[in-house]
């Protein structure tokens, strides 16, 4: 495998009101939106300073008619998009879109794991042009990746086979079960667990770094979003809050203590 295989490399919000979402996340996370200049479509690039962090686009009508819901999607680098998408499918998952080329950018596919959680596969046209890494906790960047799975143990085995992720610490959450941290190249990048019964379907969610959790939660409320859970402290001293934006998309925020 290459040095990029299994690494989260991009995040994308597909939503029902792109302009409203641009204003909301600009206020809450501090992103600046810039037009990508992609011909034939309105695709905004969300920047933290000069660093590109994520993309934003309106949901195409055909996606809406097919039953897609607005959501954040994470893109994971793979060595061969077509082969990996086929592996997802043959192991009980699904291919929702692609594989397809983004001219001058790379090749991608949107897939679902065997339990239904959606994620995207990506191979850059020139992997060496990847942005430099940033320090953990840098505001405006993604600080954590979390999977609420139908079954956490089998989900981990699936992703470990596909992306090479390894087990890190496991935290006993009591009645909620085990929260399994996973790592890439020895660095913890996320966690996964069996979803609570009240959660209707498995899904990935993403935690955006902010300076301080309480002011960020207030910006969520003022912008018309909802606080679903928290703020609360998690092991390691960080604080998180789980939210829903005005278009009904779930996201989370993470900040250092204090």
**CA–CA distance, 246 with 242 (Å, rounded to integer):** 14
Q: Which residues contact 202 (CB under 8 A, 6 or more apart)?
A: 113, 115, 116, 117, 147, 148, 149, 150, 155, 195
pLDDT tier, 258 (very low <50, low <70, confident <90, very high otherwise): low
pTM: 0.94
Q: Tell me, what's the pLDDT at 104? A: 87
- Say if residue 1's pLDDT is above 70: no
> Tens of pLDDT along 196-250?
999 999 999 999 999 999 999 999 999 999 999 989 998 888 999 999 999 999 9
> Tens of pLDDT along 89-138?
999 999 999 899 998 899 999 999 999 999 999 999 987 777 778 888 99
**CA–CA distance, 168 with 186 (Å, rounded to integer):** 8
Q: Tell me, what's the pLDDT at 3? A: 77
- Say if residue 74's pLDDT is above 90: yes
């Amino acid at each position: 495998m290459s040095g990029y295989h299994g690494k989260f490399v991009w995040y994308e919000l597909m939503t029902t009101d792109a302009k409203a979402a641009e204003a909301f996340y600009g206020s809450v996370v501090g992103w600046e939106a810039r037009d990508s200049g992609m011909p034939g479509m309105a695709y905004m690039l969300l920047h933290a300073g000069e660093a590109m962090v994520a993309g934003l686009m309106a949901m195409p009508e055909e996606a809406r008619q097919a039953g897609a819901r607005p959501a954040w999607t994470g893109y994971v680098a793979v060595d061969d998009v077509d082969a990996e998408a086929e592996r997802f499918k043959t192991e009980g998952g699904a291919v929702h879109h692609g594989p397809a080329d983004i001219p001058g950018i790379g090749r991608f596919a949107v897939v679902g794991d065997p339990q239904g959680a959606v994620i995207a596969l990506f191979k850059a046209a020139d992997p060496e042009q990847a942005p430099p890494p940033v320090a953990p906790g840098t505001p405006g960047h993604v600080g954590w990746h979390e999977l609420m799975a139908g079954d956490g143990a089998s989900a981990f085995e699936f992703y470990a086979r596909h992306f090479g992720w390894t087990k890190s610490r496991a935290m006993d959450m009591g009645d909620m079960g085990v929260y399994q941290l996973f790592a890439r190249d020895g660095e913890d990048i996320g966690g996964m667990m069996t979803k609570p019964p009240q959660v209707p379907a498995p899904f990935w969610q993403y935690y955006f770094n902010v300076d301080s959790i309480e002011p960020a939660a207030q910006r969520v409320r003022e912008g018309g979003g909802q606080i679903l859970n928290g703020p609360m402290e998690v092991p390691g001293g960080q604080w998180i809050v789980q939210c829903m934006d005005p278009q009904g998309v779930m996201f989370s925020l993470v900040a250092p203590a204090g």
